[in-house]
């Protein structure tokens, strides 16, 4: 591997002087709305992506205009916890600089879309003024660390959140470039003055993702992450964490060397070892990840190339001590628990379904305004979930009537009004901002679910939770390959359909139909829903039912993923 030429991004990083590149000069050039190619790559490390409005592309081309360039900004929110003040500022910035919406992402972060170049610096600076930041929200570094977002429900959750925040802080890049470029920090004159103690000059081969989960909830989808810590509770006390490595979703149509992968649980560590373990796993990937081919550089491929046993041995060597044996744990689901719950302290928490994670006002549903008014009086905090939903958390008994009044006033409806299928749905951004999307997702899944709800109603399945996820391409940003029903965009209004994922996100789904036109989805699934209603075993989940009845077979993990699933799909078509 070392003989092969490094990928182009490696040289961009080496030459960037710790992520500076020519970003400052590029921002100053207002003759174009875009940045040069190399700086676009570096900007990701600073938490922003150059995009263009794909709905406007054809028209602008016709009129010989530059693409409608703008920037997406991702705000890191470790563990997904934000104060009411941070919510209000995010809301203000969405109006002032972005497209008037706030996107809650599948990794518990905020995103803005539609920021023009001349507003980029000011927006990032103002995000930092409310103690949030965007560094390492994207790029070849550790990303937003996810954590089960209900810490006040028990002391275990609070400990897990603390661990997630500690990992996040420890793995945040140290380069002063971020402060220099966006916050007018003091300029560093020579490379020697800057230093990345963990990452080094070339950072990681590719993005790296970490979660902390508290069973029985797998809402952070540990099996889809590079590294996860699974809290182990014995006799009511947190005794440590199982360590899982090598999960990931991204793949590319037609490139069978790329595939989604479920993480392996390889060991156990004490709470005080977690940050060290996280660092050393990152170092193993830094040193052994493939830097020659970005399609093969995620940690999941390092784990497959060397094998989980080798990874464990190397990790133990880097740690200087050995991980313990895996302890028992059970995950029951990977969804959110909707509605109000009360904790031991008498505070309440309300989980709200946010379709596609998009917080916006429509003429019939002024949700964003309602949440803004709630933030003005809220004495607790807001929690973003890994399912793109929102928890109004830690509402004191005294304040709950005021919050309830505002919820009613703005029609922020109870989740009970929605089908269990919808409440267990996720869609990635896709069109019009994502440059990689091949089909709609966020803008189409709600309509498709309305169609599917008709057959669920006919079969008495309205209250049966089934996980359903859609992405506009196989990068898998809404983790479709572990949903019970997954749709992955192939082209305009055409999707690969996957079935058989595990309800707790513990098993990959399998390809059931390839390149299916969107209008054929309901006719395809309606008969399966009908059989499921009649023939399922007691408590049997939809994904398990699909496997038991031969719609798909259970997944074979690893590099043969595509070969296996294709043979089956074609046999059935
Ligand atoms: Fe993602 C790239 C949006 C979670 C796998 N993802 C992108 C980009 C930045 C497109 C690009 O590179 O130009 C998308 C921006 C769209 C837009 O307009 O906003 C994008 N990803 C998202 C978000 C916003 C989806 C959402 O609707 O919530 C999620 C932001 C998470 C965050 O806050 O950090 C998001 N992306 C994920 C996840 C889920 C997760 O992390 O749990 C995955 C699958 C897990 C994984 O990483 O394996 C994911 N995104 C990818 C990939 C495939 C990586 C790979 O292994 O090949 C890409 C493409 C790439 O990196 O080259 C990608
Ligand atoms: Fe874009 Fe594909 Fe990710 Fe959806 S899955 S946001 S289309 S990269």
Residue where the block lists tokens 């080496």: 14
Evaluate whether residue 217 is within a structural domain.
Answer: no
**What value does the mean pLDDT of the chain take?**
94
* Residue 504 structural domain: 420-572
Q: Tell me the per-residue pLDDT of 260-269, one tens digit each, with 9 for 90 and over.
A: 999 999 999 9
Distance 217 CA to ligand 1 centre (A): 23
Is 226 among the catalytic positions?
A: no
Q: Average pLDDT for residues 358-377, to the nearest whole number?
A: 97
Cβ–ligand 1 distance for 434 under 6 Å, the answer yes
- Whether residue 73 is preceded by a cis peptide bond, meaning omega within 30 degrees of 0, is no
pLDDT of the residue at 153 = 73
Evaluate whether residue 434 is within a structural domain.
Answer: yes
Evaluate whether residue 125 is within a structural domain.
Answer: no
Q: Average pLDDT for residues 351-367, to the nearest whole number?
A: 96
Residue where the block lists tokens 């490139």: 255
Residue where the block lists tokens 């909830």: 217
Is 209 among the catalytic positions?
A: yes
> Does the pLDDT value for residue 560 go beyond 70?
no
450: domain CATH number is 3.30.413.10
Dihedral pair phi/psi, residue 90, rounded to 5°: -60, -45
Q: Sorting pLDDT into bands at 50, 70 and 90, what band is 571? A: low
Evaluate whether residue 497 is within a structural domain.
Answer: yes
Cβ–ligand 1 distance for 105 under 6 Å, the answer yes
- Identify which of 436, 469, 494 to mutate to test ligand 2's pocket (most ligand atoms within 8 A of the CB): 436
Evaluate whether residue 441 is within a structural domain.
Answer: yes
Evaluate whether residue 337 is within a structural domain.
Answer: no
How many whole angstroms separate alpha carbon 203 and alpha carbon 305?
A: 21
Dihedral sign for Cα atoms in the order 197, 201, 204, 209: positive
How many whole angstroms separate alpha carbon 573 and alpha carbon 19?
A: 49
Q: Sorting pLDDT into bands at 50, 70 and 90, what band is 1? A: very low
Angle (deg, nearest 10), helices 117-129 and 84-96: 170
Distance 475 CA to ligand 1 centre (A): 7
Cβ–ligand 1 distance for 477 under 6 Å, the answer yes
Cβ–ligand 1 distance for 144 under 6 Å, the answer yes
- Which residues are registered as beta bridge partners of 112? 73
pLDDT of the residue at 292 = 98
The kind and range of the H/E element at 510 are: strand 510-517
Q: Average pLDDT for residues 140-152, to the nearest whole number?
A: 92
Residue 530 in tokens: 């009908």
Q: pTM score, two decimals?
A: 0.97
> Does the pLDDT value for residue 139 go beyond 50?
yes
Q: What angle do CA 454, 458, 462 make, to 5 degrees?
A: 70
For atom 3 of ligand 2, which residue has the closest CA? 477
Which ligand 2 atom lies nearest to the CA of residue 434?
Answer: 1
Q: Average pLDDT for residues 395-407, to the nearest whole number?
A: 97
Dihedral sign for Cα atoms in the order 103, 109, 110, 113: negative
Evaluate whether residue 58 is within a structural domain.
Answer: no
The kind and range of the H/E element at 563 are: helix 561-572
Is 473 among the catalytic positions?
A: yes
Closest CA to 220 of 195, 241, 251: 241
Residue 505 Rama label (left phi>0; alpha psi -120 to 50; beta): left
Residue where the block lists tokens 């059931």: 512
User: Of the ranges 40-44, 310-314, 360-364, 414-418, which one carries the lowest mean pLDDT score?
Assistant: 414-418
> Does the pLDDT value for residue 432 go beyond 80?
yes
> Does the pLDDT value for residue 513 go beyond 60?
yes
How many whole angstroms separate alpha carbon 439 and alpha carbon 425?
A: 17
> Does the pLDDT value for residue 373 go beyond 90?
yes
Which ligand 2 atom lies nearest to the CA of residue 435?
Answer: 1
The radius of gyration computed from the CA coordinates of the chain, to the nearest angstrom, equals: 23
Question: Which ligand lies nearest to the CA atom of residue 260 in the structure?
Answer: 1
Cβ–ligand 1 distance for 44 under 6 Å, the answer no
Evaluate whether residue 442 is within a structural domain.
Answer: yes
Is 546 among the catalytic positions?
A: no
Distances (CA, A) of 95 to 88, 104, 369: 11, 16, 11
Annotated active-site residue in 13, 74, 418, 469: 74
For atom 54 of ligand 1, which residue has the closest CA? 250
> How many structural domains compose the chain?
1
Distance 443 CA to ligand 2 centre (A): 13
Is 522 among the catalytic positions?
A: no
Contact 458, 501 (CB under 8 A): no
Distance 431 CA to ligand 1 centre (A): 13
> Does the pLDDT value for residue 165 go beyond 50?
yes
Distance 472 CA to ligand 2 centre (A): 5
Largest CA distance in the chain: 71
> Does the pLDDT value for residue 572 go beyond 60?
no
Alpha-helix residue ranges (DSSP H) falling in 64-103? 84-96
């Amino acid at each position: 591997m070392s003989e092969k030429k490094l990928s182009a991004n490696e040289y961009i990083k080496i030459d960037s002087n710790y992520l500076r590149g020519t970003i400052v000069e590029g921002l100053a050039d207002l003759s174009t709305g875009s940045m040069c190619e190399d700086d676009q790559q570096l900007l990701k490390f600073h938490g922003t992506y150059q995009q263009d409005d794909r709905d406007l592309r054809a028209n602008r081309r016709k009129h010989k205009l530059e693409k409608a360039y703008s920037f997406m900004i991702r705000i890191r929110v470790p563990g997904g916890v934000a104060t009411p003040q941070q919510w209000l500022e995010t809301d203000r910035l969405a109006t002032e600089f972005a497209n008037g919406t706030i996107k809650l992402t599948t990794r518990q972060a905020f995103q803005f879309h539609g920021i023009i170049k001349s507003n980029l610096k000011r927006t990032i600076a103002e995000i930092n003024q409310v103690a949030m930041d965007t560094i390492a929200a994207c790029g070849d570094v550790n990303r937003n660390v996810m954590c089960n977002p209900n810490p006040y429900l028990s002391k275990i959750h609070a400990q897990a959140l603390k661990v997630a925040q500690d990992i996040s802080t420890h793995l945040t890049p140290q380069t002063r470039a971020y402060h220099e470029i966006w916050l007018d920090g003091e300029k560093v004159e020579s490379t020697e003055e800057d230093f990345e103690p963990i990452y080094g000059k070339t950072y990681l081969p590719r993005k790296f993702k970490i979660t902390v989960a508290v069973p029985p909830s797998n809402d952070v989808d540990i099996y889809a992450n590079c590294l996860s810590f699974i809290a182990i509770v014995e006799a009511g006390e947190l005794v440590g964490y199982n360590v899982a490595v090598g999960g990931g979703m991204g793949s590319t149509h037609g490139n069978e060397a790329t595939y989604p992968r479920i993480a392996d649980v390889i060991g156990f560590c004490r709470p005080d070892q977690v940050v060290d373990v996280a660092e050393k796993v990152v170092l193993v990937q830094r040193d052994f990840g493939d830097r020659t081919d970005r399609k093969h550089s995620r940690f999941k491929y390092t784990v497959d190339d060397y094998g989980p046993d080798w990874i464990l041995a190397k990790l133990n060597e880097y740690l200087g001590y050995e991980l313990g044996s895996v302890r028992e744990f059970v995950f029951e689901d990977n969804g959110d628990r909707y509605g109000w719950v009360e904790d031991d302290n008498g505070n309440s928490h309300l989980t709200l379904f946010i379709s596609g994670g998009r917080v916006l006002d429509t003429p019939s549903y002024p949700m964003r305004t309602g949440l803004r008014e709630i933030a003005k009086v809220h004495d607790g905090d807001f929690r973003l979930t890994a399912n793109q939903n929102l928890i109004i958390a830690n509402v004191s008994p005294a304040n709950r009537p005021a919050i309830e009044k505002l919820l009613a006033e703005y029609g922020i409806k109870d989740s009970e009004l929605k089908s269990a299928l919808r409440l267990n749905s996720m869609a990635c951004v896709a069109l019009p901002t994502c440059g990689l999307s091949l089909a709609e997702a966020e803008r189409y899944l709600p309509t498709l679910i309305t169609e599917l709800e008709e057959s669920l109603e006919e079969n008495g399945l309205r209250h049966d939770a089934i996980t359903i996820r859609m992405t506009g391409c196989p990068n898998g940003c809404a983790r479709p390959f572990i949903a019970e029903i997954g749709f992955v965009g192939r082209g305009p209004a055409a999707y690969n359909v996957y079935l058989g994922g595990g309800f707790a996100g513990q098993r990959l789904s399998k390809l059931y139909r390839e390149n299916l036109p969107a209008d054929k989805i309901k006719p395809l699934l309606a008969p399966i829903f009908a059989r499921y209603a009649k023939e399922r075993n007691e408590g049997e989940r939809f994904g398990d039912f699909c496997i038991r009845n031969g719609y798909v077979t259970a997944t074979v993990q690893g590099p043969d993923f595509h070969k296996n699933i294709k043979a089956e799909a074609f046999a059935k078509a």
